[in-house]
A and B are shown apart, each in its own frame.
Chain A
Amino acid sequence: MLFVPTVAMLLKASTEGPINFWRIATSEVALSTYDVTFVTALLAGLINGVFGTLIAWVLVRYNFPFKKIIDAVIDFPFALPTAVAGLTLATVYSNNGWIGSLLVPFGIKVSFTRLGVWVAMVFISLPFVVRTVQPVLTEMERDIEEAAWCLGASQWQTFWRVILPPLMPAILTGVALGFARAVGEYGSTVIVASNIPFKDLIAPVLVFQRLEQYDYSGATVIGTVLLAISLLILLAINLLQAWGRRYA
């Protein structure tokens, strides 16, 4: 179930020959989709790194009404089918949608642009950082913060020097997990984007289009590139988690 399909794809890709493989993998369309996919996914991961940490902090440290419900709803992007996410984001951020219409006066278009792809990626990768940071923050001893305060550190210094360093592995793990998810995402991004090459076409959609044109070698080569990058991210996540365990 797991090995055979992976091996089948790698073998199929290897029949291509290195020169042909390189030519397809670095064709102009492919390069532009890597740009859209990876840069956008990275930006989505990073903003979730910042706001996800903030949300985790707020949920762990403060009390406010509806906290329990908000905490539970964080997992919504995990549970919601991606097609529904794409559908509702495309509507809300369209030119006459609830949020999109507010952005029109500023000349900002979200749905059917690269920005829309970004919003969809932010949506689906939102829970990762919150869920990796939350347990670390809960376990963290408050004594060290108190010690920092007692020694005269300002709130800002306490945050940068005392709280953030042990959180860093968890934050980066969350960003990497979110990034991996965003890179592979298909359902929501394909609906939110217009899927025009060189504009907002992402790599998974290109694989799909190649397959629809019965261009199996094209699909396989780009699919292999995506798979290799997934494996690299998986490796990075394992290393990050090993790093995080040093603080535990």
Chain B
Amino acid sequence: MHNLEPSLHHDTPPTEQAYPKKQRNWVPAVLIGVAIAYLSLILFIPAINVFVQAFSKGFGTFLQQMTKPNFLHAAQLTLMLALITVPLNTIFGLCAAWAIARKKFPGRALILSIIDLPFSVSPVVAGLMIVLLYGRNGWFGPFLEAHGIRIVFAFPAMVLATAFIAMPFVAREVIPVLEEAGFDQEECARTLGANEWQIFWRVTLPNIRWGLLYGVILTNARVMGEFGAVAVVSGNITGKTQPLPLFVEEAYKQYETSAAYSAAVLLTMLAVVTLIAKEILERRTSNRSGVH
């Protein structure tokens, strides 16, 4: 319902008709100009630069960079990370959202604000926590070493670090949708004899699907792009524990600019796809609430 009012205002632009004298015409033009200039310096030019740099030596060089073994390994590792971490975080996020939105328990408000912690804590500090916990001198270090399990400077720690960093996305997107949907439909299903599992699949999930999908997309973008936390825990060994973002930095430091930009283009495309998906989902959810 909230969406209705501003959109009505948009249909009848009051600026020209209602106050012909007060509104100075150059003000909007100047403000728009300043906004676009600022965005160009900070955002547009750097974004365009990625593509120009990557394709400046022709498409052939770009393709050639993409077939190098270190690059392929980095891309593979990034995909693996996403394939494991995203489902993990989705399940956790759903559970957390359900618990917070549906159950009243002591410390609920505290949990609600603590769940944002991975957003505000530095990724490097997040990585440090993982090292302190699972590293050789860490809490679980001796136990892990005794059993020959290697976590830090290996793939498992990278999963843990990215899972930590991207933890809040799903829960944050799902909680408001769950709260808005309310209990009624689920209660109704229960009185009609549905079991918990049926209620989740047939009632709850369809209600929250767009919010959930949005959360999953954001999680995926963060997981594939995470740098700081992964840099701390992975050891950054080229061809072994080096996902794409770390490959970009390493290549740049080694003055292999075209390799760096080829990988950067892939990651930028990921960001572009994420933004497009987000736009589509937002349109969908706003249409739905408009119908109500």
Contact = CB atoms under 8 A, between A and B. Distances in A.
Interface residues of B, number: 87
Contacts of A231: 117, 120
Contacts of B278: 72, 75, 79
A204 interface: yes
A31 interface: no
A70 B121 contact: no
A19 interface: no
A70 B44 CA distance: 9
A238 B6 CA distance: 27
Contacts of A82: 225, 227-228, 245
A163 interface: no
- Per DSSP, are chain A's interface residues mostly helix, strand or loop, or mixed? helix
A230 B120 contact: yes
Given A84-B268, A204-B124, A227-B121, A2 B114 contact: yes
A119 B38 CA distance: 12
Given A55-B38, A123-B42, A234-B116, A220 B128 contact: yes
Interface in A4-35: 4-6, 8-9, 12
Interface string B1-23: 01001100100011000110011
Contact of B275 (A6, A75, A146): A75
A237 B114 CA distance: 13
A126 interface: yes
Which of B117, B120, B275 is packed against the most chain A CB atoms within 10 Å? Answer: B120
B139 A8 contact: yes
B100 interface: no
A79 B125 CA distance: 21
A99 B221 contact: no
A9 B275 CA distance: 35
A5 B123 CA distance: 13
Contacts of B279: 72
A155 interface: yes
- Per DSSP, are chain B's interface residues mostly helix, strand or loop, or mixed? helix
Given A76-B271, A230-B121, A186 B231 contact: yes
A80 B14 CA distance: 38
Contacts of B123: 184, 186-187, 204
B122 A184 contact: yes
Interface string B120-139: 11111110111111000111
Nearest to B122: A184
Interface in A177-231: 180-181, 183-187, 190-191, 203-205, 207-208, 211, 216, 219-220, 223, 226-227, 230-231
Interface in B1-58: 2, 5-6, 9, 13-14, 18-19, 22-24, 27-28, 31-32, 34-36, 38-39, 41-47, 49-50, 53
A75 B43 CA distance: 10
Interface string B257-285: 10011001001101110111011000000
A211 B35 contact: no
B206 to A, nearest CB: 26
B50 A84 contact: yes
A111 to B, nearest CB: 12
A83 B9 contact: no
- A-B pairs, top 8 by smallest CB distance, nearest first, are A81-B225, A184-B122, A187-B227, A186-B228, A5-B129, A79-B271, A83-B245, A204-B124
10 contacts: A2-B164, A9-B132, A82-B228, A83-B245, A83-B264, A84-B245, A87-B249, A88-B49, A227-B122, A230-B117
